Amino acid sequence: MKDMRRNSEFVRTGQFSEMVDMLDDGTVDAAIANISITAKCEGRFDFSLLVGA
């Protein structure tokens, strides 16, 4: 894998709602979790498509 020369930081949150709020206000750029794609969430966030799905 090619080094993209970017710094990254992993941030743990105590609650799911905290993670979603951080995404919404731009504190973080991405979230990794078992997030269900609901109509409500899809209206707020851009979900990536699974490869091979």
Tens-place pLDDT, residues 1-52: 577 788 888 999 999 889 989 988 999 988 888 878 888 888 888 887 766 6
pTM for this entry: 0.62
Q: Locate the domains of the chain by residue range.
A: 1-53
φ and ψ of 21, to 5 deg: -65, -40
Q: Quick one: pLDDT at residue 53?
A: 54
Tell me what pLDDT residue 38 has: 86
Cβ contact 46:31 at 8 Å: no
Q: What is the pLDDT of residue 28?
A: 92
